Structure 1
Amino acid sequence: MGRLVIENVGQSFEKDKGESTDALKDVNFEVKDGEFVCIIGPSGCGKTTLLRIVAGLDRADSGRILLDGETITSPDPRRGMVFQEYSLFPWRTVIDNVTFGLDMSGMDRKESRKIAEEYLRLVGLEQFRDSYPYELSGGMRQRIAIVRALANDPAVLLMDEPFGSLDAQTRNKLQQELLQIWESKKITILFVTHSVDEAVYLSDRIAVMTSRPGRIKEMVDVDLPRPRDRTSISANKLRNRLLKMLAEENK
């Protein structure tokens, strides 16, 4: 199970001279079990802040977030996190990076490596199991970061612009691979992106946020068949609608 409920979440940050600024205010939405939801919004609207609260890395000032009815208060293996930066351990090999969480949980070493090898085959990197991160391309490193999160069998995968630093061709390929993993594993995904094109291509629904303080401006259904044609009339129509909504917030 992987149903997320975000209820009245607010967060503020201290500024100089004891003043504070609201990053998030009264954020409310739900992510259904097995759903792929993207979050878009103006720069600085609190997208990453919200994702970090869902991950349990930060605490909200108000409201609460529930996973399958249980309030989130701290990081937990049931929520896997993938950052824009690859955040791999440079001193560990590929397979040792993937098994890190499993090893920390006390799993038998033989079993953890078996699981890691299964996921490496899933993304076509089994032949690089003994390589180090510096020997891999950016796209390969991000694949490793994704399978490291998946190896812990999370109910929810949280992704903070994971493809933002990649070239267009690699980005498109990893989007396709992520969808294949999502469809095969039936996992819930909450995905932050600055790219409207990416949100239209990937998601079941798109959470559009307002400018600071971030709220949910609208939850937009993506009623497009899969696999999706990025240049179809329907995709372009939805893309233009989303861009118009974002332009309203950037005034």
Structure 2
Amino acid sequence: MGRVSIKNVSRIFTKKEGNGVTEALRDVSFDVEDGEFICILGPSGCGKTTLLRIIAGLETQTSGEITLNGVPITGPDPKRGMVFQQYSLFPWRTVIDNVTFGLEMQGISKAEARKHAEKYIDLVGLEQFKNSYPYELSGGMQQRAAIARALANEPEVLLMDEPFGALDAQTRNILQDELLKIWEQKHITCIFVTHSVDEAVVLSDRILVMTTRPGRIKEIVPVDLPRPRRRTSPEVNSLRDRVLKLLEEERFKR
């Protein structure tokens, strides 16, 4: 089970100097169903990453509640795997040692952790590079390793913060396709933050479009298109135009 419920979540940051405050999120509410793929889009600075970090338990909301399967989220937990834009791999550990890290922290023996990790290394196509160090890998391969590390804990929810944002267009498209294959195979709930409308339309079941800061839900756009989606099809282009129009409206509010 991986059902996430966000109810009236707000986040206010207090500046270190002076009495100023920044309202990052205001009264955000939505539900994510078990096994659903959600993309979150919005203008820069609208609180997308802040919201994802609160769901991950890395930050705390000022008000409101977030639950996973009805249980309030109060901190980090292996049930919620996080993949960052910057790969966040330990440079002194090989691919397999990076993937086993979370398992070892849970008290699983090194031998069992390696056996378990190899399944996920194979899943992301890095079986020939399991003993390589991050500096020996391309950006796309490093991100595959980061995804394998998150999946190795067998989370109920996979949280992804612009994981392909630093990659070239071709590698990005390849990894989008690979991610969808993994998602369909593992039936995992996925919440994916992106700046790319194209990426959101190709990947998601629904697109959550956020307003300018303070971030609120402007509109939830269903993506009722069968997969795999042809990126240049009339249906995809029509949906892309609809989402772009929503974002353009927010640009003029600044």
- Scaled to the shorter chain, the TM-score interval is over 0.9
| Alignment correspondent of 1:43 | 44
TM-score by length of 2: 0.98
Tell me the CA shift for residue 108 of structure 1. Answer: 2.0
Tell me the CA shift for residue 123 of structure 1. Answer: 1.5
Separation in 1, partners of 2:232, 2:190: 24
The CA RMSD over aligned residues, in Å, is 0.6
Separation in 2, partners of 1:119, 1:150: 7
| Alignment correspondent of 1:190 | 191
Residues 191-242 of structure 1: CA deviation (Å, up to 9, x unaligned): 0000000000000000000111000011110011111111110100000000
Residues 134-193 of structure 1: CA deviation (Å, up to 9, x unaligned): 000000000000010000000000000000000000000000000000000000000000
Secondary structure in 1 matching 2:34: coil
| Alignment correspondent of 2:231 | 230
- The alignment status of 1:30 with 2:48, answered yes or no, reads no
Separation in 1, partners of 2:242, 2:221: 10
Separation in 2, partners of 1:117, 1:217: 42
- The alignment status of 1:241 with 2:242, answered yes or no, reads yes
Secondary structure in 2 matching 1:39: strand
| Alignment correspondent of 2:95 | 94
- The alignment status of 1:3 with 2:3, answered yes or no, reads yes
For these two proteins, the number of residue pairs brought into alignment is 251
Tell me the CA shift for residue 127 of structure 1. Answer: 1.0
| Alignment correspondent of 2:63 | 62
* One-letter code aligned to 1:2: G
Residues 12-36 of structure 1: CA deviation (Å, up to 9, x unaligned): 1123421112100000001000000
Residues 86-125 of structure 1: CA deviation (Å, up to 9, x unaligned): 0000000110000000011011222211111111111111
| Alignment correspondent of 1:13 | 13
Separation in 2, partners of 1:120, 1:59: 32
Separation in 1, partners of 2:130, 2:51: 34
Separation in 2, partners of 1:159, 1:180: 16
Structure 1 unpaired stretches of 5+: none
| Alignment correspondent of 2:81 | 80
Residues 25-59 of structure 1: CA deviation (Å, up to 9, x unaligned): 00000100000000000110000000000000000
Separation in 2, partners of 1:227, 1:240: 19
Q: Identify which range, 14-23 or 140-149, moves more after superposition.
A: 14-23
Structure 2 unpaired stretches of 5+: none
* One-letter code aligned to 2:107: G
Secondary structure in 2 matching 1:53: helix
Separation in 2, partners of 1:58, 1:174: 28
Separation in 2, partners of 1:124, 1:53: 31
| Alignment correspondent of 1:137 | 138
TM-score by length of 1: 0.99
- The alignment status of 1:109 with 2:117, answered yes or no, reads no
Secondary structure in 2 matching 1:58: coil
| Alignment correspondent of 1:212 | 213
Secondary structure in 2 matching 1:17: coil
* One-letter code aligned to 2:231: R
